[in-house]
Amino acid sequence: MKTYTKREMAHIFNVSPRTIEDDVKFLGIEPQLGDRNMNLYDQNDFNLIEQMRAHLENKLNTRE
């Protein structure tokens, strides 16, 4: 299964890694610990963040 780092997801969604970190905290996602102690996110986590990013594309929507 494909895994992603915050930096990879930030690049894919054209946002900062900090924005991805805020999404992860809000969604309550627990990363997996990978090689070199990197936080990795699986495809399910990616899909949740993708939905959050799509929701927030509308400027009137918030994380809440």
- Reduced to 3 states, what is the DSSP secondary structure of residue 38? coil
| pLDDT tens figures, 4-51 | 999 999 999 999 999 999 999 999 999 888 877 788 999 999 999 999
Q: How far apart, in Å, are the Cα atoms of 26 and each of 20, 35, 48, 52, 60?
A: 10, 25, 11, 10, 18
Q: Please give the class, per CATH, of domain 3-56.
A: mainly alpha
30 in Cβ contact with 36 (< 8 Å): no
Q: What pLDDT does 58 receive?
A: 75
Report the predicted TM-score, pTM, of the whole model to 2 decimal places.
0.82
